[in-house]
Structure 1
């Protein structure tokens, strides 16, 4: 994924987030282009996007999401999003995504996830929202995640 494509995706992520929350994604006070670079490369929280395919794939992951899950960007972009949760948590994950589909956004979610090495970890105070194209069509889901240190 090239820099321009990542920044286009980040603009779409933020526009959709703002649609649901009336706020911009949390960042330091910096200029717009630096803001996008910060979200992509320096954010302390992970940002992930999955598409709406029958078997959804990740189509974006910022640097922090890559660190949290242990995947390179190339690996993320070829990974079905269901692999982010352990097999025993798939039904919970499906229910969570169904809520997002109907409500548009889910704030404050917690859940068990699995990294590339198969190690389980907890997400705390996460947010998931429908990703909306410029034409108003839902084209996927975006997530803001923080790994619990406990």
Structure 2
């Protein structure tokens, strides 16, 4: 367990992904193993070695985000694409409650979403409006949201993957 590892504590990683920390390879492994378990599909190109998986995921052309298990969970991971889309630095990301990245949704929709993820382990058709640090609104489509679980089945948070987003007009 490394300092700031979210797999059991929910606390955010203190340092962003880099060669010095293996691009947070432990968390990358959790993301990839959980994704494979629930979807049956690899998150990371199978041709990529385990040693290079963290770097590959951080540089992937799609967005990956995760949050921990607290009542109001903070983001625990975002790859370079997610940081760019949300206009955040690593320190800003891990200080942000994940709920603040989205416009408020009604309780019925929230309950439906959480029930689907809980019942199925993941959903692969999520769409919703998100908000960047600067207030820019954008629509994500076809996002996959899944539960993060350790090898022993402990719940470690949730993650999302999306590659389709489009800017929305600003509201006066």
In the alignment, does 2:159 pair up with 1:104? no
Equivalent residue in structure 2 for 1:36, among 54, 58, 61: 54
Q: Secondary structure at the match of 1:108?
A: strand
Any stretches of 5+ residues in structure 2 without a counterpart? Answer: 1-14, 168-172
Conservation of the 8 A alpha-carbon contact between 2:124 and 2:143? yes
Q: Deviations over 1:36-77 (max 9, x none)?
A: 21111x201111111111111111111111011011111110
Conservation of the 8 A alpha-carbon contact between 1:17 and 1:23? yes
Aligned length: 148
Alpha-carbon distance, 1:101 to partner: 2.4
**Higher helix proportion, which one?**
1
TM-align CA RMSD = 2.0
Q: For 1:78 and 1:104, how far apart are their aligned partners in 2? A: 26
Q: For 2:66 and 2:106, how far apart are their aligned partners in 1? A: 18
- Paired position in structure 1 for 2:78: 61
In the alignment, does 2:148 pair up with 1:148? no
- Paired position in structure 1 for 2:42: 24
Structure having the higher Rg: 2
Check 1:61–1:93 CA distance in 2 against 1; reply closer, same or farther (3 A cut): farther
Q: For 2:112 and 2:98, how far apart are their aligned partners in 1? A: 14
Which one is further off, 20-29 or 74-83?
20-29
Which one is further off, 119-128 or 93-102?
93-102
- Paired position in structure 2 for 1:123: 140
Superposition TM-score, scaled by structure 1 size: 0.87
Alpha-carbon distance, 1:96 to partner: 2.1
Any stretches of 5+ residues in structure 1 without a counterpart? Answer: none
Q: For 1:46 and 1:62, how far apart are their aligned partners in 2? A: 6
